[in-house]
Amino acid sequence: MSDVLQQLAEILKTRREGDPQESYVASLHDKGLNKILEKVGEEATEVILAARDVDQGADSKIVVGEVADLWFHTLVMLSHLNLDACAVLECLEDRFGVSGIDEKASRDAGNK
C-alpha cells in the first residue's frame, strides 16, 4: 500500500476509538454506519458535480479535492466495517490483465 494510504489507515484506526467531541473520525463512527454511508454518498455526488464543472472549464483542483474527500470517507467506511484498504488494492491488483468486460461478466455470472 502507498505510504499515504498506510499512514491514513493508521490514523483512522487510532481515531476510531477517540473522543467524538475531539475527532471527526470518531464522531462519524459514533453516529454509526448509516451516517458514514450518507457522507460517502454526499461526497460521491460532489465528485460528479465537480467533474462536470471541470469538463466545462473549472479548475481541476476542485475535482481532485472532492475525490480526496470521497476516498477519505470510503476509508472511514471500510474501517467501520473492519475491512482493510489493502483488500481493495489487492482486488484491483487481481484485475490487472483481465478485460473490464470479462471481469464484469464474471461478477454478473456469480449473482445469478
Taking all residues of the chain, what is their mean pLDDT, rounded to a whole number? 91
The x, y and z cell numbers of residue 54, run together, are: 471541470
Is 111 contained in some domain?
no
> CA–CA separation, 110 vs 112, rounded Å?
6
> Angle at the Cα of 74 (from 72 to 75), degrees rounded to 5?
65
Q: What's the total number of domains in the chain?
A: 1
pLDDT in tens, 26-74: 999 999 999 999 999 999 999 999 999 999 998 999 999 999 999 999 9
> Is the distance from CB of 67 to CB of 48 less than 8 angstroms?
no
Spatial distance between the Cα atoms of 82 and 94, rounded to a whole number of angstroms: 21
Q: Give kind and range of the element (H or E) at residue 80.
A: helix 60-80
Comparing 107 with 77, the larger pLDDT belongs to 77
Question: What pLDDT shows up at residue 1?
Answer: 55
Single pTM value for the model: 0.84
Pair 85, 19: CB distance under 8 Å: no
- Confidence label for 85 from pLDDT (cuts 50, 70 and 90): confident
List the CATH number of the domain containing 84.
1.10.287.1080
Domain annotation covers residue 105: no
What pLDDT does 112 receive? 61
List the domain range (segments joined by +) for residue 39. 3-97
Is 109 part of any domain?
no
